[in-house]
Structure 1
Amino acid sequence: MSIRFCLIVLLLVNCAVVAQQPADDILLADPTIFEEDGIFYLYGTKEDAAIPGAGFLVYTSTDLEYWSGPAGATDGYAFKKGAGFGTKGFWAPQVFKHKERYYMAYTANEQIAIATADSPLGPFTNSGTALAASVKQIDPFVFFDGGKAYLYHVRLQEGNRIFVAELTEDLSAIKTETLNECLHATTGWENTQNTDWPVSEGPTVFKKGTTYYLMYSANDFRNPDYAVGYATATHPLGPWTKYKGNPIISENTTQQPGIGHGDLFTDQNGMLRYVLHMHNSKNQVGPRKTGSVQLRFKDGILELVPDSFKQIKL
């Protein structure tokens, strides 16, 4: 077989793969949705190789059905590489508003940084430094409660483990004396391949009544058994108790492989939804696609609304 023939075959295979990807798919992993004044802003880990550059793209919608973008201030990016900390591995952003400024907590170079902007579209910038840490840390989620800010995040030590610490008032550092482990993967659904590096990641925290809920994903993201469960506590620092009915979002409940790692938001009708990613197909992990499911409380239990999965498309 000639080299030329091999190259032609390879080119045709690559073209076929590209052709199979619908043009209206939004390809974001680890997604999050921020809403303000009736506009929903969607951010995440970029999976679309056809879009040049690195950083965090943003898409917008007013009805959660029709999306446009990328709409970020810098070439479609809300935060683009070069605007602050990070040279690679731009993962898992969270956007929130605090004291009339917009903040983006994100991962780069397997560390956590926080950038600010005057608009949800960016440009988000920072001084080029990450939060000080003695280990690699990823997947930030900032939660405000009782006048304090808490950073939930994943530390890479003996697996991916979820930790929490109180942040300083200016959100520039954690108070190390408050650092505490929330949970790590110990149960069967959390490590279906019995790996030596169990994974729990992607924390999202909210409060209902006097109870705190920590939603998280478990298993390696490449595993089709990637799924979402939750734990509860009576204080932001824990201790946390895992729900015995976990996982609540999985391939079994959505028919979507590798589904998880997202964020909670409220839709225009006041319903709880969880934006997340899933594998590109049953046989292909990436580029990962973006979707959402509806959640509800039933008899005090957080659960998935059956048949509520929707893929997010342009």
Structure 2
Amino acid sequence: YYMYYSSMDEDSDDEHGQTMRVAVADCPGGPFRFVKNLLPPFSIDPHMVVTPSGMYLFYCVNEYEAQRVGTVVMCDKLTDPFTMEGKPVCVIRPTLDEEIYQRDRFKKGEHWHTIEGAFYFSKGNTHYLMYSGACHQNPTYFIGYSVAHGDPDADLRTLDWKKFPDDTTYAPLLSKNDFVEGMGHNSVIFDNGTCYIVYHGRDIGDINLPEDARSARIDEMKIDGDVLSVEVTR
């Protein structure tokens, strides 16, 4: 069993020291044993998938030389559970003001954007790549997704990933409503033909909880071609 995770380098005092690592265990309950660093800092939010064409790792890094600087989602192939092929491709990057994590974060006039927490799944020839955008403290924080079409055995790096519905429209699958906020970092599970989305959120109005105190939530998710939809329950 393999675990991919990010942790802070011992000699680092900020978030830029987060390094991707891999650990192994004989069973899912552990104990896990550190094996190696997989990627240099800054690298976070790993999601490994196995498809007919091989193993792939989705993860996030920072782009400092871009029209919209910030955190983006990358994809690379794994030649084995401990080795990256070294041919990463950026599959989702910021395109919206609603994806701004913090304005003037590192220098005046340069707003920092964030796309993170990738989760991949497919249905037939349709591929879905879900993500979280912005900062959980922002009202625009959301779960969105990109769609690509191609054979199930396609190299995931070569697919033509498109944000749904397009790069310029803010149309979150999940975002703040009347009773829950901070909705992000999701996964998807299927059970007897029903699809569920699992994500974190914070109940609005709960004065006994600090702002960062989010809990796991689950709702049914409908899949209709390229369109995903969720009716959030209390």
Pairing 1:107–2:44 present: no
1:262 and 2:186 correspond: yes
Q: Per-residue deviation at 1:265?
A: 1.2
Question: In the alignment, does 2:93 pair up with 1:187?
Answer: no
Distance 1:193 1:277 in 2: 21
* Number of the residue aligned with 1:142: 48
Give the structure with the higher percent strand: 2
Distance of 1:148 and 1:250 partners within structure 2: 33
Instruction: Provide the residue aligned with 1:197 in structure 2.
Output: 112
Task: Name which of 235, 247, 252 aligns with 2:172.
Answer: 247
**Structure index of larger Rg:** 1
Q: Displacement, 1:297? A: 1.2
Decide whether aligned partners of structure 1 residues 130 and 280 sit closer, same or farther in structure 2, where only a CA change above 3 A counts: farther
Looking at structure 1, the residues matched to 51 and 118 of structure 2 have their Cα atoms a distance apart, in angstroms, of 16
Distance in structure 2 (CA, Å) of the matches to 1:197 and 1:188: 10
| Structure 2 counterpart of 1:292 | 218
Displacement of 1:280 in angstroms is 5.6
2:113 aligned counterpart, secondary structure: coil
Task: String of CA shifts for 1:196-227, please: whole Å, max 9, x gaps.
Answer: 11000000001111121100000012224321
Do structure 1's residue 116 and structure 2's residue 15 form an aligned pair? no
Deviation readout 1:135-183 (Å, 9 max, x if unpaired): 41000000111241111000023311100011122x112111x211011
Shift of 1:123: 1.4
Distance in 2, matches of 1:300 and 1:197, equals 29
Q: Which structure shows the bigger proportion of residues in helix conformation?
A: 1
- Distance in 2, matches of 1:155 and 1:300, equals 27
Cα 1:181–1:300 change in 2 (3 A) is closer
The AA in structure 2 aligned to 1:180 is V
- Normalised by the length of structure 2, the TM-score is 0.77
Distance in 1, matches of 2:75 and 2:54, equals 13
Letter in 2 for 1:216: Y
Number of residue pairs aligned between Structure 1 and Structure 2: 201
Q: Structure 1 residues 300 and 280 mapped into 2: Cα distance closer, same or farther (>3 Å)? A: closer
Corresponding residue to 2:125 among 207, 210, 227? 210
| 2:72 is aligned with 1:161 | yes
Question: TM-score normalised to the size of structure 1?
Answer: 0.59
Query: Within 2, Cα distance between the matches of 1:157 and 1:298?
Result: 33
Q: What amino acid is aligned across from residue 198 of structure 1 in structure 2?
A: H
| Identity level (%) | 28
Q: In structure 1, what is the Cα distance between the partners aligned to 2:98 and 2:220?
A: 22
5+ residue gaps, structure 1, are 1-101
TM-superposed deviation, 1:239: 2.7
Shift of 1:298: 2.7
What is the SS of the residue equivalent to 1:115? Answer: strand
What is the Cα deviation at residue 232 of structure 1?
Answer: 1.2
What one-letter code is carried by the residue in structure 1 that aligns with 2:76?
A
- The 1:299/1:148 distance shift into structure 2, 3 A limit, reads closer
Matched, 1:152 2:73: no
CA distance in 2, matches of 1:197, 1:191: 6
Contact kept, 8 Å, 2:102 with 2:135, in 1: the verdict is: no
Return the letter of the residue paired with 2:23: A
The letter of the residue matching 2:187 is D
Cα pair 2:46 2:59 within 8 Å, conserved: yes
> Offset at 1:255?
3.4
- Return the offset for 1:281: 4.0
Pairwise CA RMSD: 2.2
Identify which of structures 1 and 2 has the higher relative contact order when contacts are C-alpha pairs closer than 8 Å and 6+ apart. Answer: 1
Code of the residue aligned with 1:174 in structure 2: it is M
SS of the residue 1:257 aligns to: strand
- Secondary structure (helix, strand or coil) at the match of 2:137 reads coil
